[in-house]
């Protein structure tokens, strides 16, 4: 399979997800659709975080730079770089910021006609990555969102002590 073919597969699954969201929202309301979507994405994100942790030897993350690299790898495993146009940068010794100037999920939900009522599950995804990596977050919030018309999604993750 070529990279172009793989991107087509991604796009079809994401279109499916957007239509699935729309179906749940229509039958049970946006609140239920958002809750199930966030729950499912957190589960996947935790799995991805565990995979990344294993790739890095399974030991606790040693420092904010390695954590940034791990978060960036998590993002790349869930959302290909071609579809998110962003990255992760260190802002302080315990704070990283994930930036996305393109969010395929918002694009797909918009294409499916479900943008009204859609809530981005970004903080649930980051909580899952962190849990999978064995990192405790003391802050996990969005400071900008493409869904709301901002130029980029900007998400802050401040870490505490590593989990045992």
Q: What is the pLDDT of residues 40-71, one digit of tens each?
A: 999 999 999 999 999 988 888 889 999 999 99
User: What's residue 164's pLDDT?
Assistant: 46
CATH code of the domain covering residue 118: 3.30.1380.20
Q: Which domain holds residue 155?
A: 3-162
CA distances in angstroms from 7 to 15, 21, 78, listed in the order given: 12, 21, 13
pLDDT of residue 162: 53
Query: Domain total for the chain?
Result: 1
Rounded distance between C-alpha atoms, residue 28 and residue 145, angstroms: 25
Low-confidence ranges of the chain (pLDDT < 70): 161-164
What distance in Å separates the CA atoms of residue 132 and residue 139, rounded to the nearest whole number?
17
């Amino acid at each position: 399979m070529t990279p172009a073919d793989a991107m087509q597969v991604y796009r079809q699954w994401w279109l499916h997800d957007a239509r699935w969201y729309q179906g749940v929202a229509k039958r049970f309301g946006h609140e239920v659709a958002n809750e199930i979507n966030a729950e499912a994405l957190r589960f996947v994100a935790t799995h991805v975080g565990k995979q990344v942790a294993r790739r890095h030897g399974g030991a606790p993350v040693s420092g904010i730079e390695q954590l940034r690299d791990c978060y960036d790898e998590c993002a790349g495993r869930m959302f290909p770089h071609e579809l998110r146009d962003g990255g992760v940068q260190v802002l302080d010794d315990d704070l990283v910021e994930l930036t996305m100037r393109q969010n395929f999920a918002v694009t797909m939900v918009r294409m499916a006609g479900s943008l009204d009522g859609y809530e981005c599950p970004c903080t649930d995804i980051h909580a899952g990555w962190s849990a999978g990596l064995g990192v405790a977050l003391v802050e996990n919030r969005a400071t900008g969102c493409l869904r709301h018309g901002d130029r980029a999604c900007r998400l802050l993750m401040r870490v505490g002590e590593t989990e045992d």
